[in-house]
Amino acid sequence: MASIKINHIKINHINLIASKSLDILSDICAICQENIIDKCNKCSNDNNNNNIIKCYSVIGVCKHAYHLCCIKDWTNKQSSSNIRCPMCAQKWELRKRSIY
């Protein structure tokens, strides 16, 4: 009978992502380039502990997802009558909000 030697692997970090069926085109916010499950750059760098920031993702009718902070900044820079998705230029309309 042959013996089998198994090398042990040490895993220091694992990042598990559970995903609901969100039906989105990308899991990266096109504005800040962070995963929509993580906080956006603005919220990650905010060191003000007195201000609790809820950073969550929002999904447009066009199926593009963004952090709420990012898309708010984007839409504030647009003409209120002509707000477009940064990815596909369709009229930006919120389909749903997703909290992770």
pTM of the predicted protein model:
0.65
End-to-end CA distance of the chain: 51
Q: Are 87 and 70 in contact (CB under 8 A)?
A: no
Superfamily of domain 41-98: Zinc/RING finger domain, C3HC4 (zinc finger) (3.30.40.10)
The model's pLDDT over 68-99, given as tens digits with 9 standing for 90+, comes to 889 988 888 887 778 899 889 999 888 877 65
The model's pLDDT over 31-54, given as tens digits with 9 standing for 90+, comes to 999 888 888 888 877 765 444 457
* Residue ranges per structural domain of the chain: 41-98
